[in-house]
Each structure stands twice: as C-alpha cells, then as structure tokens.
Amino acid sequence: MTGICKQHEIHYRQALKSSRQKATPARLAILEVLEHARHPLSADEIKGALPKGKTDLATVYRNLEMLKEKGWVSALNISSQTAYYELSKLEHHHHLVCESCGRTKALAGCKAAELTKNFLNQKGFARIARHSLEYFGLCKKCERTNN
Amino acid sequence: MTGICKQHEIHYRQALKSSRQKATPARLAILEVLEHARHPLSADEIKGALPKGKTDLATVYRNLEMLKEKGWVSALNISSQTAYYELSKLEHHHHLVCESCGRTKALAGCKAAELTKNFLNQKGFARIARHSLEYFGLCKKCERTNN
DNA sequence: AACTACTTGCAAGTAATTTGCATTTGTGAT
DNA sequence: ATCACAAATGCAAATTACTTGCAAGTAGTT
C-alpha cells in the first residue's frame, strides 16, 4: 500500500530491538499496515495490504503470533472462523461488529473490567487474564441497503 | 450416549413441528446431547456424544446451523478456530473460559446488556442484535497442575 | 567482510466446516 | 396404511484458515 513512514519505522525499529527481535521488512510492513488500519484485519487482509504481494501468508501468521506474544497486537474473537488483528497500543476497548458487512467500530472505555472482580474469587477460577466483549448488529449503511 | 428421554423427545417434536422442521433421529439426538451437556460443545464433541457414531459430521453441522437460525442453539466465540454450541433456552449469560484446558463455566446474569443501550444511538449502528462477553483465565485445576 | 541465529518463501499438512449429489426418510394427503 | 415428495442424510470431495518442515536468505553482531 503506502510505503513505511519514517517516523513509525524508527519507532518500530527501537521497539523490536529492545525485545531482541529483528527488524525485518515484513515485520515493519505489517506494523505499518496495522497502524493505518481503520478496523481489525484478518491475516489475509493484512497480506493483501502489504506492498506488492511478496510476503508469504505463513510469514504474516508467524509475525502476528510473535507480535501477539509481545503484546503489541491483539486478536479478536468476532468470528469463530477467522481471527482479526489490531494494534493493542490503543486503550483497552471493545467493538461493534456489523453482522452484515463485518465492519467494526471501536468503543471507547470498558465497563466490563469492573465486573471482572466479582468473578475472580468464585467459580473456581484462579485468575482472569483477559476478556472479550463484542456487540453484533447492523450498521446503518447495511440497514439502508436492506441486508 | 444415553437414549433420548421421552419427556424431552415429546417437547422437541412439538417445537420442530411448529417450525415445520422434520423430527429426524439426528436432530432429536443432537438436542438431547445439548440438553445434558455441562458446557458448550464443539460439533465434533457433539458427534462423539451421539449414540453409536452413525451420524455424519456434516449432518451435525447442518442441524446446528438450522437450530441456530431458529434461535434454539447459540454458538460461542471463545476460540477463533472452533465454534462451541449450547442450547439458548437458558437465561442469557456469559462464560469463564480456561485458556489451558478449555473448560468453561457459565456465569449467571448479565450486566453487559445495560451497557448496550448507551451504544444504540451512537456509532452509526442501526441496532444491536447480540453481544458476546467472555472471560479467559486459568481454572484452579489447571493452576495446580502448573499449566 | 564474516559469522550465525533468526527469518523467510515455498510446499505440504491439518483442522474445522461446507458443498454436491445420489439415496433415504419423515410427513401430510389420500 | 400407503403414497408422493420435499427435506434430510451419508459419503466423498472441496474450501478456508492456519501451521509446519526445511532449505535458502538476511539482520545484526564481531
């Protein structure tokens, strides 16, 4: 898509270096794509947005996996078929997902975390690492086109 | 597994009939399995719990799909790899999912619905049909075995 | 410039789910 | 009860999303 902008590139290189990860072109490009994404993307969509289809899908998956482990990227459970990825540097948040077109909107703030505490010492769970809260509906665009 | 108990069978037959769906053995058996399940099951697990492995997996999937459309069964987004199904006749609720063993616990009550209203008239969404709220952590059993 | 461990592309492999099609089976009508 | 037929099923093949093995390439150190 667009090239990598210098600002970001420098930032990413430092982040990668401090985690002892190599700053490969594929990695920088994937981060750049996610940086500009308006909504969470599937691995395939990410590959599609990469400059000149030279990067293999396997590489995309491998990098997403490591970015996820480092906590830089998070995967969403909005489809039981496909994972969608976004940068996790944004404030913790949830989404509205259109069941017709799949478009998502981020929702600021999260009240669900408060609820978490109530569950911690019950139900035989040692600890709760994360939660997912997603709303599914119909965006206005899809409603108009009667989907 | 166990046979179909008469009580349930009669109930299911009526429900199916009123939706103009045939009461096939596979259908009745799948409903019976879900009725007795202690936690959401994958299509494969459902097939495994069916009497004498004669029902094809494709049939299980096709039936789950129709049961979902009728609103009798709902699928959970707890893994982006596999769908887990449960009867939706239970009170609306969410789950605790152990990231190690996959075991789930149902959580009574749902505070998330309240939050929904706040989103309805914003974000360009026409309406919100459903939401998913799942907590992921480690159940005590898995913590003990140091997973 | 050389070394080496980490990365990548490519091809093959898996797991979950879907689809095509010929055959069988519930069900309402007879 | 029997019939007719749309709906449902089994089986095999296809599809999708993702993973893995391996030889070749490369970032980052020396």
Q: What is the largest CA-CA distance in chain B?
A: 51
Q: What is the largest CA-CA distance in chain A?
A: 52
Mutation site for B-interface testing, chosen from A128, A135, A142, A146 by largest number of B Cβ within 10 Å: A135
Tell the CATH superfamily of the B91-147 domain: Ferric-uptake regulator, C-terminal dimerisarion domain (3.30.1490.190)
SS3 A96: strand
Backbone angles phi, psi at A8, to 5 degrees: -60, -45
Write the CATH number of the domain with boundaries A1-89: 1.10.10.10
Q: Are A76 and A132 in contact (CB under 8 A)?
A: yes
In this complex, the residue of B82, B83, B126 whose CB is nearest that of residue A137 is B126
Distance of CA A58 to the CA centre of its chain: 17
Backbone angles phi, psi at A129, to 5 degrees: -85, -35
B:57-76 Cβ neighbours of strand C under 7 Å: 57-58, 61-62, 65
Angle value at C-alpha B93, between B136 and B59, nearest 5 degrees: 85
Same fold, B1-90 and B91-147: no
Question: How far is it, in rounded angstroms, from Cα A2 to Cα A29?
Answer: 10
What integer is the mean pLDDT of B5-23?
90
In this complex, the residue of B80, B128, B133 whose CB is nearest that of residue A137 is B128
Question: How far is it, in rounded angstroms, from Cα A40 to Cα A75?
Answer: 8
Q: Are B30 and B46 in contact (CB under 8 A)?
A: yes
In which element (H, E) is residue A108 found? none
- Does the pLDDT of residue A3 top 60, yes or no? no
More confident site: B13 or A110: B13
Going A45 to A51 to A57 to A60, the CA torsion angle's sign is negative
| Token reading at B17 | 């009939």
Angle value at C-alpha B71, between B132 and B126, nearest 5 degrees: 55
Residue B1's pLDDT is what?
Answer: 45
- B40 HSE (CA, 13 A, CB side): 28
- Domain chopping of chain A, boundaries: 1-89, 91-147
| Token reading at B29 | 């058996």
More confident site: A1 or A17: A17
Q: Are B125 and B116 in contact (CB under 8 A)?
A: no
- CB atoms < 10 A from the CB of A136, how many? 18
Question: How far is it, in rounded angstroms, from Cα A135 to Cα A2?
Answer: 32
Question: How far is it, in rounded angstroms, from Cα B79 to Cα A144?
Answer: 32
- Does the pLDDT of residue B5 top 50, yes or no? yes
Which amino acid makes up residue A27?
Answer: R
Of the listed ranges A2-16, A20-34, A105-119, B131-145, the least confidently predicted one is A105-119
In the sheet with A125-139, reading across from the earlier edge strand, the strands are: A104-107, A94-98, A125-139, B125-139, B94-98, B104-107
- Could you report how far apart the first and last alpha carbons of chain B are, in Å? 31
What's the pLDDT tens digit per position in B56-100?
999 999 999 999 999 999 998 888 789 999 998 767 787 777 766
- The gap between A56 CA and C10 C1' (Å) is 9
- Does the pLDDT of residue A72 top 80, yes or no? yes
Please answer yes or no on whether B133 and A130 come within 8 Å at the CB atom: no
B17 touches strand C (CB under 7 A): yes
What's the pLDDT tens digit per position in B113-126?
666 655 555 556 66
Question: How far is it, in rounded angstroms, from Cα B44 to Cα A8?
Answer: 45
- Does the pLDDT of residue A43 top 50, yes or no? yes
B1-90 has CATH 1.10.10.10 classification: yes
Residue A94's pLDDT is what?
Answer: 79
More confident site: A124 or A147: A124
